[in-house]
Amino acid sequence: MTSSYADLPLHNGHVPYWMLKYMRELTEVITKFIIEERGVNNFIKALSDPLWFQAFNNVIGMDWDSSGSTTVLLSLLKEVSMKKDLGFLVFGGKGKHMLNIKDELSIFSKKYDLDIDNIIKFSKIAAKADSSFLLDGYDIYIHTIIVPITRGNLLVIQQGMNTNNLMARRYHVDKAALENPNNGITGIKEENVIDMTSKMSREARKLFIDLLSEGKEKFRNNLVQANNILGKKSLDYFIYGQENRNDIKKYYYPIIPSKKLLKAVDDIAKKPPSNEIELALTPNVGPKLVRALALISDVIYSVPVSHKDPVNLSLDPFSYSYAIGGKDGIPYPFDAKTAKDAIEFLRNALEEAGINEKVRRLALQRLNIFVKRIKFNENL
């Protein structure tokens, strides 16, 4: 399959109820099959691949390139995970539902032995990494965390929207860290990016901790000095005739040391973070403060910051649309009969697989036909 990428434009409208019914059943039986064969942790690992996720979305019949695909598939996975005993749960969602994770966890912790503190910590670090430390112009409006019932890796899938071009990008976070937290990001590459989650920004993140511990006056002086330098010729230009080290106008703009920003720094300085995890979890460390710290780091202290967009994709998700069609009629209208046959086929095979090993093997042989048809990632 050729390398490509998936744009995620904003689509209006809703999935028709009759189609949603098929999508729900397809989501359930395919999820059951994968978990039966590969286990819960491998299923969650597969979801951490942004284009495997997109492929799953396409197989159930959602638009191949729609931003709504994230909402629909995550909602369906959440629904079946909470109604069926599949070995994992999905918390959070779109808009105000992002804020319900703690309440949802408290409900299900009565039934399952969930490490609520660790789950919430992972969720917060992931949210902060992509909303505050990756300044790419996308505001997070979907945030979900996928939790295995027993031991296993957590996964956050979240999505941001660029209100200027009405495009979305999806982030798949599989590490509780500020450095390279995303297993993958799908979207279009942007130019004016400040990526503080990059390995290249490691020294700058260390400097952030020192800068925040020095208090608001030192921060204010640094910020004013950095603002004054923006757009001016460097010393190398006058001595050697060289241009600036980089075009800082492209990434930065003057930031006003407002009372709100200075108060945030003052509050943080009273109990400054001592490491990156504490930095991520520190209240008031938002995108504006991170941008100001990046400006100071790069311009005043010459500590490099990455400006490379971390979007990384490896497969073309469009081919997966050929399984049963799509809602928008691309590449052809949703094929209800094929969807119905696939549901029945998988359901019968799963039922047969529980009888004995011989029948189970025969069922798996039949299921392999379907697996090849939808071209599951061989590395799953």
Position 313 scores a pLDDT of 67
Q: Which two tokens stand for residue 119?
A: 């789950």
Residue 305: inside a domain? no
- DSSP alpha helix (H) spans, 174-315: 202-213, 216-229, 235-240, 248-251, 259-270, 276-281, 287-295
Shared-domain flag, residues 60 and 88:
yes
Question: Looking at the structure, do residues 53 and 110 belong to the same domain, yes or no?
Answer: yes
Q: Are 160 and 139 in contact, with CB atoms under 8 Å apart?
A: yes
Report the distance separating Cα 349 and Cα 367, nearest Å: 7
232 pLDDT band, cuts 50/70/90, is low
The tens digit of pLDDT for each residue in 333-361 reads 766 776 667 667 666 655 655 555 665 56
Q: What does the block give as tokens for 108?
A: 């299900």
- Are 176 and 66 contained in the same domain? yes
Q: Is residue 289 part of a domain?
A: yes
pLDDT in tens, 120-170: 999 999 999 999 999 999 999 999 999 999 989 999 999 999 988 878 899
Higher pLDDT, 366 or 300: 300
| pLDDT value of residue 143 | 98
End residue of a domain, out of 300, 324, 354: 300
User: 261: domain range?
Assistant: 199-300
159-196 pLDDT per residue, tens: 999 988 878 899 999 999 999 999 999 888 888 899 99
- Per-residue pLDDT band for 320 (boundaries 50, 70, 90) equals very low
> Rounded to the nearest 5 degrees, what angle is found at the Cα of 317, between the Cα atoms of 83 and 79?
10
What pLDDT shows up at residue 86? 93
Domain match, 316 and 248 both: no
Question: How many domains does the chain divide into?
Answer: 2
Residues 106 and 207 in one domain: no
pLDDT at position 314, please?
43
Question: Are 290 and 319 in the same domain?
Answer: no
Helix, strand, or coil here: 232?
coil
Does residue 267 lie within any of the structural domains? yes
Top pLDDT among 277 and 234 is at 277
pLDDT in tens, 193-213: 999 999 999 999 999 999 999
- Rounded mean pLDDT, 252-271: 95
* Pair (156, 19) in one structural domain: yes
pLDDT number for residue 250: 77
pLDDT tens profile 39-96: 999 999 999 988 678 777 777 776 545 557 788 899 999 999 999 899 999 999 999 9
Does the residue 170 lie in any domain?
yes
287 and 327 together in one domain: no
Domain boundary among 300, 329, 350: 300
Mean pLDDT of the chain, nearest integer: 81
Distance CA 96, CA 78 (A): 16
The answer to whether position 3 is within a domain reads no
User: What is the CA 180 to chain-centroid distance, rounded?
Assistant: 12
- Retrieve residue 165's tokens: 């071009």
Domain boundary among 280, 300, 320: 300
pLDDT band for 377, please (50, 70, 90 cuts): very low
Whether residues 75 and 125 share a domain: the answer is yes
Q: Phi and psi of 138, rounded to 5°?
A: -115, 125
Same domain for 103 and 46: yes
User: Residue 380 falls within a domain, yes or no?
Assistant: no
- Structure-token match 């971390």, residue found: 310
pTM for the predicted model, two decimal places: 0.80
186 and 209, same domain (yes or no): no
Instruction: Judge if 156 and 216 occupy the same domain.
Output: no
